[in-house]
Amino acid sequence: MELVPERLRGETASFDIEANGKVYVEKGRRITARHIRQLEKDDVKLIEVPVEYIAGKVVAKDYIDESTGELICAANMELSLDLLAKLSQSGHKRIETLFTNDLDHGPYISETLRVDPTNDRLSALVEIYRMMRPGEPPTREAAESLFENLFFSEDRYDLSAVGRMKFNRSLLREEIEGSGILSKDDIIDVMKKLIDIRNGKGEVDDIDHLGNRRIRSVGEMAENQFRVGLVRVERAVKERLSLGDLDTLMPQDMINAKPISAAVKEFFGSSQLSQFMDQNNPLSEITHKRRISALGPRRSDP
């Protein structure tokens, strides 16, 4: 087995670790920094391990019998003694396995993939659709549309310049600017950070810390309500286009601006943040204007 001494730190040897006739760690002894330094000093790269030690390891890639084309074991399968015998009989001399331990390299992704019933992109999209829309029959178009709108649609959400800056800083990136929506690289980096936190590296953010909040101005909240109104108008226009005669329809017959004005009026008229000014005295008026309300996670509203 190829040896990386640093990966053995803190583990208990289940067999004698020896090389070139010298025993570095006896069976049952905990591997310390002194043992690791000695292994690195002597440049030990390969050690002989018992078959029982390899059994239970997770295969890192597919292994196929080249003579018959038969799949012997798929990636992420646990090695058993029978599988090891088949691999040896098929002529495989080198077996790549995943390195995991209980200290700082947990098998979280491997275990998740092992219990995941999906094995391709479409089935994964359908599974997400069933979780988000239980009871509705999934189709390919509906599943793809739902997933795209959740993460990659500028019409659905906007990280804003401040949000992107905080996001990039949290991932230790040098740039502070970027797109207002998530990218595939963003999602992968977030997963890596979550795994690092699970492995004991890094700290969990405090959702109540003022550094993780910002004041949203009235203009920004009114903009969001205006966007809601535009979405309603878009939905109404699509319905009229599907029902009406396209040859005789005019723009004024399809577009109705009432949903936009209704959304804005609803915000200023009945929103929790739309309040009568406290005008008992100048001091109370100033206090009321400066008051902020924490409504929902990760934000503070004036």
Confidence of residue 13 (pLDDT cuts 50, 70, 90): confident
200 assigned to some structural domain: yes
pTM value? 0.71
Q: Which domain holds residue 200?
A: 160-204
* Domains in the chain, number: 4
The answer, yes or no, to whether residue 239 has pLDDT greater than 70, is: yes
| Same structural domain, 226 and 268 | yes
| Same structural domain, 237 and 263 | yes
78 assigned to some structural domain: no
74 assigned to some structural domain: no
183 assigned to some structural domain: yes
* Residue listed under structure tokens 């098929």: 90
The answer, yes or no, to whether residue 158 has pLDDT greater than 60, is: yes
Highest mean pLDDT among 73-77, 122-126, 155-159, 268-272: 122-126
| Same structural domain, 164 and 225 | no
Nearest to 152 by CA among 121, 179, 125: 179
Looking at residue 294, its pLDDT comes to 63
Looking at residue 191, its pLDDT comes to 93
- Give the chain's mean pLDDT: 84
Q: Which of 145-149, 196-200, 279-283 has the lowest mean pLDDT?
A: 279-283
Looking at residue 244, its pLDDT comes to 67
247 assigned to some structural domain: yes
| Same structural domain, 223 and 280 | yes
Stronger pLDDT, 124 or 34, i.e. the higher one: 124
Looking at residue 8, its pLDDT comes to 77
CB contact at 8 A, 254 and 241: yes
| Long-range pairs of 258-262 with CB within 8 A, sequence gap ≥ 24 | 259/229, 259/232, 259/233, 260/226, 260/229, 260/230, 260/232, 260/233, 261/229, 262/229
| Same structural domain, 223 and 265 | yes
244 assigned to some structural domain: yes
Handedness of CA 215, 219, 222, 227 (dihedral sign): negative
282 assigned to some structural domain: yes
Percent share of the chain, pLDDT over 70: 96
Structure confidence by residue, pLDDT tens digits, 120-140: 999 999 999 999 999 899 999
Confidence of residue 298 (pLDDT cuts 50, 70, 90): very low
Nearest to 83 by CA among 106, 66, 59: 59
| Same structural domain, 244 and 273 | yes
| Same structural domain, 141 and 177 | no
- Mean pLDDT value of segment 235-262: 81
The answer, yes or no, to whether residue 182 has pLDDT greater than 90, is: yes
- Mean pLDDT value of segment 74-79: 89
97 assigned to some structural domain: no
The answer, yes or no, to whether residue 300 has pLDDT greater than 70, is: no
| Same structural domain, 166 and 136 | no
Burial (CB count within 10 angstroms: exposed 0-12, middle 13-18, buried 19+), residue 55:
middle
Looking at residue 295, its pLDDT comes to 56
Q: Which of 9-18, 85-94, 102-111 has the lowest mean pLDDT?
A: 9-18
